[in-house]
């Protein structure tokens, strides 16, 4: 009963924040799953689960194909999720301790289709003049990284040709900067997936024109957590002569 009451309160708050989504329907649909993943000791790595809304995970299951190439900013249970379903995963991590943990997970599980890369934050003498909302500044709003930038982390994607990836997931540091660099690296018909997109500043700097992009938002309960979140799927349309929308 306590879980149900908390879940109902969480649902009401989310619907008040974002009435355009299917919050009441999804809340009924996912309560049992949400409650299961609240069990003590469960985590996304052991479960090989993305840390996204259940509705977004359902959408992933609909679009994933075994021949896909995936690039993700931010690693964890999602990395293992992708690795078991697609041909190739490139995963970028900024936290050394987490990187070492996940690297060992990949070894222990004998996963050989993941290229796992560490790109740590670097000191930035101009940090005080920058804005975390600006895609050209490569900094994070996280106070743990005050005085540092993530330019090398973000630009790792530029090591790959335009149109290289079927899906690019932005779920790490300096997300507006990641979004900026991700667009050209998508294949036509590919998906740019931005997690926690209720933080409006992630997508605010960009104009994703309907003739170029099909946009769908998924929100609702999340495994392991007691609040809702949104994930935005932006599909690059196939009938295009250009890949990158104007800002």
The Cα-based distances of 71 to 12, 98, 100, 192 in angstroms read 34, 18, 19, 10
What percent of the chain shows pLDDT beyond 90? 77
Query: Looking at the 3D structure of the chain, how many domains does it have?
Result: 1
- Please state, rounded to an integer, the average pLDDT across all residues of the chain: 90
Chain position carrying tokens 């929100």: 219
CATH of the domain at 152: 3.40.50.150
In a domain, 243, yes or no: no
What percent of the chain shows pLDDT beyond 70? 86
Q: Is the pLDDT of residue 16 over 60?
A: no
In a domain, 159, yes or no: yes
pLDDT band of residue 55 (cuts 50, 70, 90) is very high
In a domain, 1, yes or no: no
- Residue 89 and residue 110 in contact, taking contact as beta carbons nearer than 8 Å: no
- Residue 230 and residue 197 in contact, taking contact as beta carbons nearer than 8 Å: yes
In a domain, 14, yes or no: no
- H-helix segments, the chain: 2-17, 23-37, 44-47, 54-63, 77-83, 96-108, 151-155, 175-182
Averaged over 121-146, what is the pLDDT? 98
In a domain, 215, yes or no: yes
Q: Which residues contact 138 (CB under 8 A, 6 or more apart)?
A: 130, 149, 150, 151, 153, 154, 174, 177
Q: What is the pLDDT of residues 62-90, one digit of tens each?
A: 999 999 999 999 999 999 999 999 999 99
Q: Is the pLDDT of residue 246 over 50?
A: no
pLDDT band of residue 196 (cuts 50, 70, 90) is very high
- Comparing CA positions, the residue from 139, 118, 115, 135 lying closest to residue 127 is 139
In a domain, 12, yes or no: no
CA angle 21/52/157 to nearest 5° reads 115
Full-prediction pTM beyond 0.85? yes
CA gap 164, 149 in Å, rounded? 25
> Ranked by mean pLDDT, which of 52-56, 101-105, 216-220 comes out on top?
101-105
In a domain, 202, yes or no: yes
Chain position carrying tokens 């997508």: 203
Strand duo 122-123 + 165-170: pairing: unpaired
pLDDT band of residue 33 (cuts 50, 70, 90) is confident
pLDDT at 244: 45
Residue 76 belongs to domain spanning: 43-236
pLDDT at 34: 84
In a domain, 22, yes or no: no
Higher pLDDT, 40 or 178: 178
Tokens of 157: 């994607």
Q: What is the pLDDT of residues 95-111, one digit of tens each?
A: 999 999 999 999 999 99
């Amino acid at each position: 009963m306590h879980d149900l009451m908390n879940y109902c309160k969480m649902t009401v708050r989310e619907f008040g924040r974002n009435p355009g989504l299917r919050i009441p329907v999804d809340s009924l649909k996912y309560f049992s799953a949400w409650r299961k993943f609240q069990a003590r000791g469960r985590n996304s790595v052991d479960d090989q689960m993305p840390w996204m809304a259940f509705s977004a995970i359902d959408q992933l299951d609909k679009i994933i194909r075994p021949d896909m190439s995936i690039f993700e900013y931010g690693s964890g249970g999602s990395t293992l999720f992708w690795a078991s379903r697609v041909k190739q995963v490139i995963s970028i991590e900024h936290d050394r301790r987490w990187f070492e943990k996940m690297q060992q997970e990949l070894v222990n599980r004998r996963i050989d289709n993941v290229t796992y890369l560490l790109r740590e934050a670097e000191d930035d003498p101009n940090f005080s003049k920058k804005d975390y909302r600006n895609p050209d500044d490569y900094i994070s709003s996280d106070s743990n990284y005050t005085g540092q930038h993530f330019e090398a982390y973000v630009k790792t994607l530029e090591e790959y040709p335009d149109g290289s990836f079927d899906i690019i997931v932005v779920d790490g540091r300096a997300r507006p900067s990641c979004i900026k660099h991700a667009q050209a690296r998508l294949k036509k018909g590919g998906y740019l997936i931005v997690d926690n997109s209720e933080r409006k500043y992630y997508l605010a700097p960009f104009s994703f024109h309907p003739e170029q992009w099909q946009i769908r938002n998924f929100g609702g309960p999340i495994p392991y957590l007691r609040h809702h979140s949104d994930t935005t799927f932006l599909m690059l349309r196939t009938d295009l002569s250009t890949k990158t929308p104007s800002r």
